[in-house]
Every structure is written in C-alpha cells, then in structure tokens.
C-alpha cells in the first residue's frame, strides 16, 4: 500500500492533465499512487486523453459532474493511504514538494496538512504567493493554505470531507477552518513548489468575484467560531483597510502617479467634450 495517494480532479482539462501527472511521477518521494477523477468531462479532447492514459501508478476514475469538492471526495474515498495529496489538473509540482512536505508532517503529530508557496505561471504569471499555514486564528480572514496540499486522510474523515454544497469556490477555505477549529495546525514549506496556472476564467478568479457571498456562507457554516473571534476578525479587517489606504496614498504621492494623471488629463477633457456634443445631438 503506498504511503501517499495523489488525487487529481479533472473537468475538461485534458490539455494539461498529463503535465500534472508527470510532475507527480517526477517527485523525489515515490511511495505513491495517482487517482485521476474524471468529473463528468464533456470536452472530446479531454475524454480522449483520459481514455488513452496509460502511465505508471496511475488510475482513472469516472463520475458524473459534481464540481470540485465532489471530485476530491470521490477520489479520497477510494484511497487507502495514510496521506493524501490533492492536485488540480491544470497545475504542477516541483519535484521536491512531497519529500519536503512529508518531512514536515512526519515531524509533528499536531500538523494536519502541509502547504507551500505558489508560483503563478501563464499570461501575467511570475508572482510568488505566500501560504504560511498556521492555526484557526490565521484562517479567520482568509485562507493561509492551498487547496492542493498534503494532508492526513484521518483529518478528512474527521471533518466529513469537503463541503459539496460549496460549488462556486472557497470550499478549501471552509475545509481548513473545519480542520483548524479542531485544534490541528497547518504546516508549510516556505518555497514556491506549487505552480498555479493563471486563467481569467478560472474557478478561483470567478470565486474571488463572488467573495462577499461565499464568505457569508463560510461564516454561516462556522458561526460559533466567528462569534467567538468577532473582535479579531473586525480588527484584522480594519488593519488591512488601513494598510491599503496607506499604500494608495503613497501611490498618489509618487512621481509616476502624477505623470500618469498629467498624461490622462487631455484624454479626460476630450472625453468630456465628446460627451457634451453627444448630449447636444440628443
């Protein structure tokens, strides 16, 4: 029985899934197997790739579309290993991720999961995003852990898996609050070992546009936690607003900002002029 099962949900990502699998097979830690969960893909190219997939340690599971939480739960339910690694089908891992993450999680029985920093790839990529992990208090304002990371299977069992009613995103943040409120900690490898593919129409981008409603759902799911820590949440929010305002004020005082306003002023005047002429014609 392998020590780690890698679960890769795939919905119409046939163009990328092979690269995701290859990044797992290239890990320096190789006591693993891979479950690719076809979550009701409809794209012919994806169906063809999954049908013809014949790689070591890799098996494809098929199910009706149920969105990301459902696909992850389906794959994890089939796993027998002590540890689970979730990976999105359009992302990849650096070869040393599992080796370094296993060292962290084996070293502390209080650690439920191990995340890492993220390097964005694709158009506009190249940014490194930090995910430091932590305890419950660190997750009350935003998620400090990747959805795709290494975690103990028994933790997934304790919280009842990913919430399948959260089909529009933030299901990972909801999951980590459920985990950390039971006293678990999230560890991290502070290196950009996860490569996240940037896409304007990605589920993450769409979820961020719906953040107020999704956060409201998370608060409702963990009402007792947010009621207990309401002062901390409000304080953190106010501090972030203040920091944002300070950065905006610094930007407004910069030479680049003043030059930009100067350059845009003629365009603004022209726009007002054209708008006035349009009104006269109306």
Do 159 and 241 fall within a single domain? no
Q: Are residues 51 and 145 in the same domain?
A: yes
3-state secondary structure 209-264: HCHHHHHHHHHHHCHHHHHHCHHHHHHHHHHHHHHHHHHHHHHHCCHHHHHHHHHH
Instruction: Give me the pLDDT at residue 203, please.
Output: 64
Instruction: Give the model's pLDDT for residue 202.
Output: 64
Number of domains in the chain: 2
- Flag whether 241 is in a domain: yes
Cβ proximity of 49 and 36 under 8 Å? no
Of the candidates 100, 260, 277, which has an alpha carbon nearest to the alpha carbon of residue 188?
100
pLDDT at position 241 is 78
- Within 8 A by CB and 6+ apart from 149, the residues are 85, 86, 101, 113, 114, 115, 116
Based on the fold, state whether residues 44 and 146 are members of the same structural domain.
yes
**Residues 75 and 135 reside in one and the same domain:** yes
Mean confidence (pLDDT) of the chain: 88
Residue that terminates a domain, selected from 181, 201, 221: 201
For residue 216, tell me if it sits in a domain. no
Residue 214 belongs to a domain: no
Q: For position 122, what pLDDT does the model report?
A: 79
Is residue 65 within 8 Å of residue 40, measured between CB atoms?
yes
Query: Same structural domain for residues 192 and 64?
Result: yes
User: Which residue, of 201, 225, 256, is where some domain finishes?
Assistant: 201
130 vs 93: CA distance, rounded Å: 15
The Cα diameter of the chain in Å comes to 78
Return the pLDDT at 200. Answer: 60
Give the residue from 201, 224, 249 where a domain finishes: 201
Each residue of 32-60: pLDDT tens digit?
A: 999 999 999 999 999 999 999 999 999 99
Q: Is the pTM of this model over 0.85?
A: no
In percent, the amount of the chain with pLDDT more than 90 equals 68
What is the per-residue pLDDT for 191? 97
Residue 210: inside a domain: no
pLDDT value of position 131: 96
Question: 134 vs 55, 81, 94, CA distance in Å?
Answer: 36, 25, 22
Q: Do 113 and 197 share a domain, yes or no?
A: yes
| Domain assignment present for 228 | no
- On whether residue 73 sits in a domain, the answer given is yes
50 and 148 belong to one structural domain: yes
| Same domain, yes or no: 141 and 35 | yes
pLDDT of residue 258: 63
Q: What are phi and psi of 9, to 5 degrees?
A: -65, 140
Closest of 50, 77, 44 to residue 62, by C-alpha:
50
Please indicate, yes or no, if residue 206 is contained in any of the structural domains: no
Domain coverage including residue 255: 235-281
The CA–CA distances, whole Å, from 262 to 3, 159, 266 equal 61, 56, 8
Residues of the chain with pLDDT under 70: 200-205, 254, 256-282
Q: Could you read off the pLDDT of 246-270 as tens digits, one per residue?
A: 788 777 776 765 666 666 566 555 5
């Amino acid at each position: 029985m392998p020590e780690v099962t890698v679960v890769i949900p795939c919905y119409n990502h046939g163009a990328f899934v092979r690269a995701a699998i290859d990044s797992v097979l290239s890990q320096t830690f190789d006591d693993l197997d891979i479950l690719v969960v076809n979550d009701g893909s409809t794209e012919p190219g994806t169906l063809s790739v999954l049908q013809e997939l014949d790689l070591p340690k890799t098996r494809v599971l098929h199910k009706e579309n149920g969105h990301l939480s459902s696909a992850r739960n389906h794959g994890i339910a089939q796993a027998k290993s002590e540890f689970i690694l979730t990976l999105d089908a359009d992302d990849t891992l650096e070869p040393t991720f599992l080796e370094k993450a296993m060292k962290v999680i084996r070293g502390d029985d209080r650690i439920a999961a191990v995340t890492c920093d993220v390097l964005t790839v694709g158009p506009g990529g190249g940014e490194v995003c930090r995910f430091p992990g932590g305890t419950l208090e660190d997750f009350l304002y935003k998620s400090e852990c990747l959805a795709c990371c290494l975690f103990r299977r028994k933790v997934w069992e304790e919280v009842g898996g990913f919430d399948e009613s959260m089909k529009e995103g933030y299901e990972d943040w909801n999951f980590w609050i459920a985990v950390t409120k039971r006293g678990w900690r999230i560890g991290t490898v502070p290196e950009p070992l996860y490569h996240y593919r940037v896409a304007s129409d990605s589920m993450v981008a769409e979820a961020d546009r719906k953040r107020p409603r999704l956060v409201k759902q998370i608060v409702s799911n963990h009402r007792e936690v947010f009621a207990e820590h309401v002062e901390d949440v409000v304080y953190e929010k106010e501090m972030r607003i203040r920091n944002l305002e300070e950065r905006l004020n610094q930007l407004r005082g910069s030479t680049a900002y003043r030059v930009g306003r100067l350059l845009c002023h003629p365009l603004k005047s022209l726009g007002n002029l054209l708008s006035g002429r349009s009104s006269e014609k109306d």
